[in-house]
Structure 1
């Protein structure tokens, strides 16, 4: 994989960990996530005005991805309700690279080298090990965290195929994110009401900023998936758990043990094999 692509993906990983930390730190995570999506919708619609439309063949993938992203949002919010960032995030992110590699093989005919496959396995294994406590995987939100990982795999492969068919990955990203950003507020209003969504609350500006950060992070990932194998891109992106572990330790008061540091070494080793 070209070094510039690797560096871009690692930057996206840092951005991704940052907005997840913002979400985990909030009191009303469903509201925070929905405000993030509003920011994504407005920014994406504005960007789309200055880009050529993606090819028609990619439109069904953009619609499907928008729906899958809403499912991902709901599962992620639910998993953070009962689990901390240092446990929930590794399960969700660690399960997805292997799933994406399998889905990409099945639906996109994509293969990776033996060394890259071993690197992906190292990254996934290292990430999931971060969720263990005293050799036990005691995660209260485990079903939702695994469900989040499945949604990540599904929308990632959908977007990888859609971006390649679009002929314009950035335009595809803008269209898909605009749709996703509109769907999530509609779901929120259905679950609650419009008044609470648009009420001014503490954390409103932070949530808007988080939405813009998430848009940039995923735009980079979609661009990378159009240029490189999806499973390898996903594994590199999931190094965000290393950043999440550090952010959780520094800003959220979560623990950072020797075992977690060793897991980070395993993840870095897998990253080097992929890169």
Structure 2
């Protein structure tokens, strides 16, 4: 991974943490995620005239990705409902890079170098440590929460491998990303109407400014990730993206005034060690 790609993925991780911190609007979780997805589609619209229309084989990857993103969102919402957000979200994010690494080995024949693999493991370990011992008081996870969180991680690994492959096959990562964001937004509209009806759309419309802002940040962060996956191994990019939880911790401490505990420091140092190992690989 070149220095430019490495720094770009770290910047994307910071953006990811930022929009997650900002999305706490006056909506339930389903509506909040739908709002952000609409924002991503809106951010993609001005780009469409300047990128190529994907070929038929690329559209297949986009369709698979939209399905995986739908599964990711629905399972994540269910995980939030079943258990503590502070545990379920990092559990999903921390497990996903390991699944992506395994999938990359068997599906794409991308075998990480030993130092890169050590970095991936350290990043995942730090993320999981931040999850289970990073908060003030975390309840034991119930079976439902664990199941939904792990299902979420499977979908994350699925869309990561799919989007990495699709972006490599497309004319450019920008073309793939723009059309993916638009299709995902349109499908989210259909799903919202089916599951919630027009009432939710009215509530979402009232928060359109926040939707545009979080959507633009999310779109930029994931576009960078897809571009990076055309330049570096998908598993390495996926793991490095999870430094977003380190940036989220920094936001919580500096902006929200949360306590920096020994466990948080240990988890942060583990994540940093993983970042260093991946940079040296």
Q: Same fold (TM over 0.5)?
A: yes
The CA deviation string for residues 142-166 of structure 1, in whole angstroms up to 9 with x for no partner, is 3222222111100000011111111
Please report how far the alpha carbon of residue 194 of structure 1 lies from its aligned counterpart in structure 2 after TM superposition. Answer: 1.7
Partner of 1:238: 242
Check the 8 A contact 2:127/2:245 in 1, yes or no. yes
The answer to whether the Cα contact below 8 Å between 1:55 and 1:166 also exists between their aligned partners in 2 is yes
In the TM superposition, what are the counterparts of 1:111-122 in structure 2 within 5 Å? 111-122=111-122
For residues 23 and 163 of structure 1, the distance between their equivalents in structure 2, rounded to whole angstroms, comes to 27
Q: Which moved more, 1:163-172 or 1:230-239?
A: 163-172
Cα distance per residue 1:11-69 (max 9 Å; x no partner): 10011112222335654121121121112222223312211223432220011101111
Are 1:180 and 2:184 matched, yes or no? yes
Which string of whole-angstrom CA distances, capped at 9 and with x for unpartnered residues, describes residues 59-96 of structure 1?
Answer: 20011101111111122223334555532332121111
Residue in 2 aligned with 1:58? Answer: 58
> What does residue 138 of structure 1 align with?
140
Distance in 2 (CA, whole Å) between partners of 1:91 and 1:40 is 25
- Could you say if the C-alpha distance between residues 23 and 200 of structure 1 is closer, same or farther in structure 2, counting changes exceeding 3 Å? closer
SS of 2:187's equivalent in the other structure is helix
- Shift of the 82–46 alpha-carbon distance from structure 1 to 2, 3 Å rule, reads same
Partner of 2:42: 42
- Measured after TM superposition, the shift of residue 246 of structure 1 is 2.6
Q: Deviations over 1:80-136 (max 9, x none)?
A: 3455553233212111111101111111111110110011001001111112249x9
Structure-1 separation of matches of 2:74 and 2:37: 12
Larger mean CA deviation between 249-258 and 204-213 belongs to 249-258
The 1-side partners of 2:172 and 2:46 are apart by 16
Q: Residue 271 of structure 1: CA displacement? A: 0.8
SS where residue 54 of structure 1 aligns?
coil
Q: Give the conservation status (yes or no) of the 8 Å contact 2:43–2:215.
A: no
Which sections of structure 1, spanning at least 5 residues, go unmatched?
Answer: none
CA RMSD of aligned residues (A): 2.3
* Structure 1 position 28 matched with structure 2 position 28: yes
Deviates more, 1:119-128 or 1:19-28: 19-28
User: Is this contact kept in 2: 1:131–1:137, CA < 8 A?
Assistant: no
On the 8 A contact 2:130/2:264 being kept in 1, the answer is yes
In 1, the alpha carbon distance for the partners of 2:92 and 2:252 equals 16
8 Å CA contact 1:39, 1:208 repeated in 2: yes
Assess if the C-alpha contact under 8 Å between 2:84 and 2:139 holds in 1. Answer: no
